[in-house]
Amino acid sequence: MKFNEILSIRGNFLIKATPFLIFISSIVVFNGMVDDWGRLSGSIDNLFVFIRESLWPPDWSVIEPQAYPICTAYPLIDFTCSTAWIGLLETLKIAFVSTVFGMILSLPISLLAARNLNPWWLSYSSRFILAAFRSLPSIIWAIFFVILVGFGPLSGVLAMTVYTIGYLGKLQYEAIEGMNKTPLYAAEAMGLSRFETAFQVVIPESANDLISQAIFMFEYNFRHGTVIGIVGAGGIGYYINLYLKFLQYDKVIAYLIIIFIVVLLIDMISIFARSFFTEEGDMPKPSWFHVILPASMIKK
Amino acid sequence: MTGDSKEIEVYRNPIVRLLDVEIGYKKTEPLVKIPNLEIFPGEIVAIAGPSGVGKTTLLRTIAGLVRPISGSVEVCGAVSPSKPSKGILGYVPQRLGLIRHTSVMHNVMIGANAGHNKSLWSILPSSLAKKYASEAINSMGLSDKLREPIRRLSGGQQRRVATARTLAQRPSLIMADEFLSELDEDTMDMVLTAVTQYVRQSGAALLVVEHDVSRAKSMADRLLVIDDGRVNPFITEATAMEVKI
């Protein structure tokens, strides 16, 4: 057997063994971090005690109108005066505004960050800005803006917008870099400027990806918007934090169930909306029925 | 489509002039050597040769997308690495370079805007650009597909859109890479007639890459055959035969 053949066989073996080796190494690293595995033994019992004594049943008074200010809504929709509704709506507003602002601000930076459109120095300096925005999680940005502008949704919007610029910008420049190169060649041969190429070729060509990412970002911002309220940046998180401090876990679990249902709904709307902006645009659009139910149930 | 020589820049000197040019992607391995090549206004030149010999690379070098390894490439008065001004050069790439999600009109308007709007910040179409775009689309027989997204068109229709984009631009030099493939005989005649008519009447030049030598001969005034051969991998005066028809 020749030396090259032996090398090739070893190479193939290494490629196949790599996932297994990565898994084993993760176990070894984990084991190194944990000093006492025995602590796991009582965890299930602790969970059941916590659920039975503190979490369950949820206290649904959170969807009842607040005592003050006095609710003027019709009795049928008086839940709109509840802390759950007010907090949820504020979180949705923060997510919506910060996604729109974040997208508007991130798109020009991501156009500059794309390596297929710009010289390396411009591309890497733009990536540096995006990475700086992304390096801190949204909750840290929220603390920062609460210090700067005080409590409330303003600091929430600013925090989520900055994080959106960093996160969405990365997704956008990766989509732009992945676009088909031939339209760029045609534009370059025609003598189009970078500005014209960006607006006439790059954005239309990658529009589906950009829209799909913006919808995903809205969904992401809503989920994270529930957290930033904990540090006083507005939204439903404010109420969760309030009841956590008073150890009223039954109210906290009610909020968490509401957030879970809304996240699920937004996720379904997001899947449905994004299906309009995929390459398979000519495929039949999924019905609501298809989005909600698994394929096996639809067949039946 | 009627050409109007006043509306495009007409060059009395050769539109393309290549002198002692070596092209390719690696300095040490030039694909093609061209001692001398000149293309004049109103002329149709076809480049033929086996697959992988460097026909497309030659076209891309003239289009300014690839730098020559050595030698001088002059296009419409601009010597490489400088490029001709906006809209002077029209390019139909082999893979067309269309924007798949947008309409036929949007794609053709990109060419029309490049040719008729000299501002480098132009994103709003001028009325002149719209007129030339409509004319070009009509000449390609696509007037019923104006609003159709590119991804819903057949391969042949997409090729006609790419050609219409270049015609709407009304450039001084059209470079087309296998722009007649995937077309049936009648459509091919229609496309070729429109392009040829434009070239003859406007004084522009057409440089076309065509793997089918008989088709290349039938359309071109001059045929440049690139043949790498087995003995000498590079084009020299002995291996590159320039055939006058």
| pLDDT over 70, % of chain B | 84
pLDDT of residue A286: 57
Report the pLDDT value the prediction gives residue A158, as an integer from 0 to 100: 93
What is the third-level CATH fold of B1-84+173-245? Rossmann fold (3.40.50)
User: Which residue bears the tokens 């006492």?
Assistant: A36
Q: Is the pLDDT of residue B232 over 60?
A: no
Query: Given CB atoms, is B90 within the 8 Å cutoff of chain A?
Result: yes
Q: Tens digits of per-residue pLDDT, A243-283? A: 888 888 888 899 889 988 988 888 888 777 777 766 555 55
Interchain CB distance below 8 Å, A190 and B102: no
Cα(A134)–Cα(A200) distance, integer angstroms: 29
Q: Does B110 touch chain A (CB under 8 A)?
A: yes
Domain parsing of chain B, residue ranges? 1-84+173-245, 98-171
In a domain, A256, yes or no: yes
Whether residue A288 lies inside any domain: the answer is yes
What's the mean pLDDT in A172-194? 91
Question: What pLDDT sits at residue B83?
Answer: 81
CATH of the domain at A223: 1.10.3720.10
pLDDT confidence band for B230 (50 / 70 / 90): very low
Res. A169 pLDDT band, cuts 50 70 90: very high
Report pLDDT for A103: 94
- Residue labelled with tokens 């995937």: B182
In this complex, how many residue pairs, one in chain A and one in chain B, have their CB atoms less than 8 Å apart?
91
- Rounded to whole angstroms, the Cα distance separating A207 from A200 reads 11
Q: Quick check: A192 and B151 CB within 8 A?
A: no
Burial of residue A14, with CB atoms counted within 10 A of its CB: 0-12 exposed, 13-18 middle, 19 or more buried: exposed
Whole-number pLDDT of residue B6: 41
Residue A202: inside a domain, yes or no?
yes
Residue of B82, B99, B151 best to disrupt the A interface, most CBs of A under 10 A: B99
CB neighbours of residue B243 within 10 Å = 13
In this prediction the ipTM stands at 0.84
3-state helix, strand, coil in chain B (%, to 5): 35, 20, 45
Residue A129 has a pLDDT of 95
Spell out which residues of chain B touch residue A189, defining contact as CB-CB under 8 Å. 63-65, 89-91, 175
- Does A43 touch chain B if contact means CB atoms closer than 8 Å? no
Q: Give mean pLDDT, residues B135-155.
A: 90
More confident residue, A181 or A229: A181
Contact A191 B93 (CB under 8 A): no
Nearest by CB: A205 against B99, B123, B152: B99
CA dist A93 to A98, A248, A299, Å? 8, 26, 38
User: Contacts of residue A195 in chain B, CB cutoff 8 Å?
Assistant: 120-121, 123
pLDDT in the model for residue A124: 94
Q: In which domain, by residue range, is A111 found?
A: 84-299
- Alpha-carbon distance of B64 to B83, in angstroms, equals 7
pLDDT tops 60 at residue B106: yes
pLDDT tens for each residue of A205-243: 888 889 888 988 998 998 888 888 888 777 788 888 888
Which of A51-55, B13-17, B104-108 is most confident? B104-108
Any domain includes A57: no
Among B93, B113, B122, select the one facing A186 at the smallest CB separation: B93
The confidence score (pLDDT) of residue A202 equals 93
Does A208 contact chain B (CB < 8 Å)?
yes
Percent of chain A with pLDDT over 90: 32
Give tens-digit pLDDT for B34-91: 888 888 898 899 888 788 878 888 899 999 899 999 888 998 888 877 788 888 899 9
pLDDT in tens, A109-160: 999 999 989 999 999 999 999 999 999 988 899 899 999 988 888 998 999 9
Q: Are the C-beta atoms of residues B220 and B208 closer than 8 Å to each other? A: yes
CB spacing of A205 vs B122 below 8 angstroms: no
Q: Mean pLDDT, to the nearest integer, of A58-71? A: 78
User: Is the residue at A177 inside a domain?
Assistant: yes
Query: Is B124 an interface residue toward A (CB < 8 Å)?
Result: no
Give the alpha-carbon dihedral of B3, B4, B8, B14, to 10 degrees.
70
Residue A18 forms part of a structural domain: no
pLDDT of residue A299: 56
- For A25-37, the pLDDT digits (tens) are 999 999 999 888 8
Minimal Cα–Cα distance from B232 to chain A, Å? 31
Would you call B64 an interface residue with chain A, using a CB distance cutoff of 8 Å? yes
Query: CA nearest B175 in A: which residue?
Result: A189
Residue A208 belongs to a domain: yes
> Is B99 in CB contact (< 8 Å) with chain A?
yes
Strand ranges across the sheet with B78-79: B32-39, B16-23, B70-75, B78-79
pLDDT greater than 80 at residue A297: no
- Three-state SS letters, A233-276: CCCHHHHHHHHHHCCCHHHHHHHHHHHHHHHHHHHHHHHHHHHH
Residue A14 has pLDDT above 70, yes or no: yes
pLDDT score at B8: 53
Element (H, E) at B33: strand B32-39
Q: Output b/e per residue, A271-293; b: 16+ Cβ within 10 A.
A: bbbbbebeeeeeeeeeeeeeeee
The predicted pLDDT at position B234 comes to 37
Q: Say how many C-beta atoms besides its own lie within 10 A of residue B21's C-beta.
A: 23
**Which of A192, A204, A282 is facing B99, going by the closest CB pair?**
A204
Quick check: is A61 in a domain? no
- Looking at every residue in chain A, the average pLDDT score rounds to 84
pLDDT at residue B231 in the model: 27
pLDDT in tens, B162-171: 999 999 999 9
Q: How many domains does chain A have?
A: 1
For residue B240, pLDDT beyond 80 = no
Residue in chain A lying closest to B122 (CA): A196
Residue B236 has pLDDT above 70, yes or no: no
Q: What percent of chain A has pLDDT over 70?
A: 89
Whether chain A has a CB inside 8 Å of the CB on B8: the answer is no
Q: Which residue has the higher pLDDT, B184 or A163?
A: A163
Cβ contacts (< 8 Å) between A184 and chain B: which residues? 97
pLDDT at A61: 82
Report the residue of A190, A195, A209, A279 to disrupt the B interface, i.e. the one with the largest count of B CBs within 10 Å.
A190
Confidence of residue A292 (pLDDT cuts 50, 70, 90): low
